[in-house]
Structure 1
Amino acid sequence: MNKTRWIFLVVGLALIGATAAFLVQFKNNRKLSPPGVLTRPIPENKDPVVVEVLLPEKVLDYESVLKQQEAIVTNTLPADTSYGERIYTAPDKFWIQMNAVLMGRDRTSHHKPQYCLTGAGWNIDQSMSQRETIHMERPVSYDLPVMKLISTRQQTIDGKTVTYRGVYVYWFVSDNEISGDESGVERMWSMGRELIMTGILHRWTYVSCFAPCLPGQEDAAYERVKTFIIAATPEFQLVPPPGKQAATGP
């Protein structure tokens, strides 16, 4: 190997080493933002990043029960992921499952919500699924960007095949932004930009609402979910704060 090649090799190895050292230092020095949702510590958990997301116990005329995350979820997602989940039931037995998943130091706490539905046996109807906005009046007037998915599932009951439809609405919120972007590109871009510019990793929360219904009742079910979201969201979501507008994506 001639002298020039040796020089290039040494310089290349030096650059690789310097880059690796920078990334390690960058990772060790980065800070976490506060969450954009209401939380409380879990005394028995030694990691202060792991908290409980506090969803409201009562919304409108819905009563709720707290639901613990299943082992398949907690064993799959990073250990510092935080959760909050409740099932709300109205007097006429219409029910809505609300779930919040707050990332910790690892952004892989979140994946495409479509995987959850299909994994549970629901087939998404792409022709009826679309981006929506829900107008909020509390704590300020703003439009909440969400993604609405309509899905179908069939079950055999007493030897007969019964078809159900599912209305699934979700969005993401950090300490200063809200996103209803289906692809996740908007959220990843924002997270990366802020991490590089400020050294702060913004912790996003994935919030979802699911309600089953019979075929033909999808629009009515979605309207009930919207009304529920309008009432429930200001009780636990801290963005936007009173008197300020949230930065929202498409």
Structure 2
Amino acid sequence: MRIGQVTLMVGVGLGLMVATGFFLGRLATRQRLGPPGVRVVNEPLEGIEPNANGSPRIFVAATQSVYLPTQVLEYASVPVPVEKIVLDWLPKDTTYGQRLYTATNDGFQISTTVVLMGRDRTSIHQPEYCLLGSGWRITETARDTIPVQEPIPYQLPVSKLLTINYHRTSRGALVPVRGVFVYWFVAGDQVAGDHLKRMWHLAWDMMRTGVLQRWAYVSCFAICRPGEEQATWARIKQFVAAAVPQFQLVPAAEASPMGHGPPAGSARHLPPKDEL
């Protein structure tokens, strides 16, 4: 390769780097934060951290939280504090909502979590990493939908993960435990059933409008015995269909069935006055 060709290639590369930096700089200066796709309320969020004396310390971690209903179908619930290690690890402008739902008829439990980003996009990451980090191994991944009837009938796209872990009994034996983990993402007028689709929407909106969509990551997790995965999935679907209309703002009643925003000229769904 001739020296002139090398010089030309270096020049083109530097030019692309400068142009890219300029473009990203322009995006940063015109960036606006979009509205959330979940209800945010002025209710304190509790945090929890271990104490030297063995009893955990509960503290107020934030003055706002993502709303989750206290009762869904036959499920009663209790709020779950966010661990301090999570609060320290994720960006400070992250908003959380966590509740543990227990069926009053048979004790079946569903853990539900919402993580809402602010201006820092790193609040939202691939859920698979958290599962692996907590000792669960993913055995199957699938894309699916959950029919939701309110505020309008639509199909909620989700990712479904089947997982396995092992519990050690008092006698030292390892017993397999299965789990069904379901998640999706929601922003101001969009729903994504997987991480790649959410990233595509985020990048496209930034380039097209300069709006940084405020994405929320919603997950439901239930533990079961081996062989009960399909029955557990059926119960999660029923739970999600009843719970989602109570805390998720997408789609609004005026929106299209796919939840991609209201028609031109229509009024946008607004949360109650005590919400932000």
**TM-score range relative to shorter protein:** 0.7 to 0.9
TM-score of the superposition, structure 1-length normalised?
0.85
| Worse-matched range after superposition: 28-37 or 164-173 | 28-37
Task: Decide which of 133, 139, 144 is 2:151's aligned counterpart.
Answer: 139
Letter in 2 for 1:123: R
Work out whether 1:119 is the aligned partner of 2:121.
no
Structure 2 CA distance for aligned equivalents of residues 53 and 115 of structure 1: 22
Once the 2 structures are TM-superposed, how far is the Cα of residue 104 of structure 1 from its aligned partner?
A: 0.8
SS state at 1:164 partner = strand
Unmatched segments (≥5 aa) in structure 2: 1-9, 46-61, 261-276
| 2:118 equivalent in structure 1 | 104
Structure 2 CA distance for aligned equivalents of residues 156 and 11 of structure 1: 60
Structure 2 CA distance for aligned equivalents of residues 116 and 74 of structure 1: 14
1:177–1:246 CA contact under 8 A, matched in 2: no
Letter in 1 for 2:159: M
Work out whether 1:52 is the aligned partner of 2:65.
yes
SS state at 1:125 partner = strand
After superposition, residues 155-170 of structure 1 pair within 5 angstroms as 155-159=167-171, 160-170=173-183
- Structure 1 runs of 4+ off > 6 angstroms? 9-19
State the Cα deviation string for residues 135-161 of structure 1 (Å, max 9, x = none). Answer: 111110110000110111111111232
| 1:3 equivalent in structure 2 | none
1:30–1:195 CA contact under 8 A, matched in 2: yes
1:50–1:82 CA contact under 8 A, matched in 2: no
Work out whether 1:175 is the aligned partner of 2:193.
no
Structure 2 CA distance for aligned equivalents of residues 115 and 100 of structure 1: 16
SS state at 1:152 partner = strand
Structure 2 CA distance for aligned equivalents of residues 63 and 136 of structure 1: 21
1:175–1:239 CA contact under 8 A, matched in 2: yes
After superposition, residues 20-35 of structure 1 pair within 5 angstroms as 20=21, 23-35=24-36
Structure 2 CA distance for aligned equivalents of residues 124 and 107 of structure 1: 25
Letter in 2 for 1:198: T
Identity across the alignment (%): 46
1:69–1:85 CA contact under 8 A, matched in 2: yes
Q: CA RMSD in A?
A: 2.8
Are the structure 2 counterparts of residues 152 and 15 from structure 1 closer, same or farther at C-alpha, using a change threshold of 3 Å? Answer: closer
